[in-house]
Amino acid sequence: MGAPVNAPTERPVVILGAGYAGLTVAREVARRSRSHLPIVLVDRSPVHVLRTELYEIGKIAEAAGDVRPWTVPLANVLERTSSSFRQGAVGAIDLANRIVHLEGGEAIPFGSLAVCLGSVAAYYGVPGAADHTFSVYRLSGALRLAKALRDVETASGSTTGERRPRVVIVGGGSTGTELAAEIATTDWTRVAGPRARPPEVILLSGALPFLVGLPPKLVAHARELLQRAGVWVLHGVNVVRVDEGAVHLEDGSILKCDVTVWCAGLEAPAQVKSLDAPHGKGGRLAVAPTLELPGHPGVFAVGDVSEVRDPTTGMLVPATAQAARAEARVAAANLVARREGRPLEPFRYQEKGVVVALGLGKAAGTIRGLTLWGSPAALLKRVAEKEYSRTAEKGEDTSLV
């Protein structure tokens, strides 16, 4: 299990994706190898995106294109490590020959590989969903949504009658919930002018329970805070089609709207789904307990791109930034161990807690069994996010996020 990888030793450790998982792997491999292993970090963007904060769509709209509060320049992060950065989009991964092909033709051979490419929206074959909805899973998507909302709110000032802009959010998980609360409680007059009208926000939780998988007390507090924020939550009805300006539900009803946002689920990107390797739900890579890809020594999949089962509980590890960073630390340790011929260790997940932002300085969460809600929960979430941003830019580590 701990035999060295069969690859030329001069080949680098290649890390695909500079999100929460990829950045943590790069930092941990450099630390554990005492910077003796060459590392190449590949990402299409020169910045690390604070993806867990992209629900702040009102602030993003007000920033009007200034993305600095939601990004960390990779140059700042990597200058203190043995990592080099290669900007480019991954086209294909050749596991047999241990080569990553970038779009544009560049090929990067690897000795060890960490696949941390994150996830993309899963549309489940719903007609029109990919073409007529926005998402916040990537910075580019959040920027497009922010502009659309700003435009709709600006136009609302000249609308006759009492009609308010309507925003429909599909998906009652944490992303959809945080986004619904943020949109409903944003002061759009500050963003789009004094005549902007507050939007009507509808959250469709579909067949899955609202905030499925989270503790009942947290869910109850979140539901109450959403109600106070003016969000209408519609349970138990799935979307069957999305048109421009309309969402069709399985019960035959149609919701007219100005903006539709898709937060109904995630899947692995195409480059990962096409790999000749074991896959789980949504095309994620089904990894061994050590986070290594079966049959491919020295190749690890980390974060949203992987399907990980906790060996103690048998439960799937959630696709969260907290879990991704915990996986990344173990994957980095095992990657270095594999290169050095030492035994690998299984990943065991221990969740520290979860906090869901609910607009206007409110949140609901559980931390080590203690339920918090309202302003204290929101403050805890903000402290954790800011601490992560600060330490990430300095190349340090924190367990708060």
- The predicted-structure confidence for 199-242, as pLDDT tens digits, reads as follows 999 999 988 888 888 888 888 888 898 998 999 999 988 999 99
Percent of the chain scoring above 90 in pLDDT: 69
Q: What is the pLDDT of residue 401?
A: 45
Q: What is the pLDDT of residue 395?
A: 63
Q: Report how far residue 84's alpha carbon sits from residue 86's, in angstroms, rounded to the nearest whole number.
A: 7
Q: What is the pLDDT of residue 255?
A: 97
Residues of the chain predicted below pLDDT 70: 1-9, 394-401
Place of tokens 């109850």: 220
Q: What is the pLDDT of residue 400?
A: 42
**pLDDT tens profile 138-183:** 999 999 999 999 999 999 988 878 889 999 999 999 999 999 999 9
Fold agreement between 13-120+267-393 and 129-265:
yes
Cα angle 217, 322, 310; round to 5: 85
Q: Cβ neighbours of residue 386 under 8 Å, at least 6 residues apart?
A: none
Chain centre to alpha carbon of residue 309: 19
One CATH from 3.30.1490.20, 3.40.50.970, 3.90.245.10, 3.50.50.60 for 129-265: 3.50.50.60
* pTM: predicted TM-score of the whole model, two decimal places: 0.91
Q: Where are the domains of the chain?
A: 13-120+267-393, 129-265
**304-317: buried (b, 16+ CB within 10 Å) or exposed (e) per residue?**
bbbbbbbeeeeebb
Q: What is the pLDDT of residue 278?
A: 94
13-120+267-393 has which CATH code? 3.50.50.100
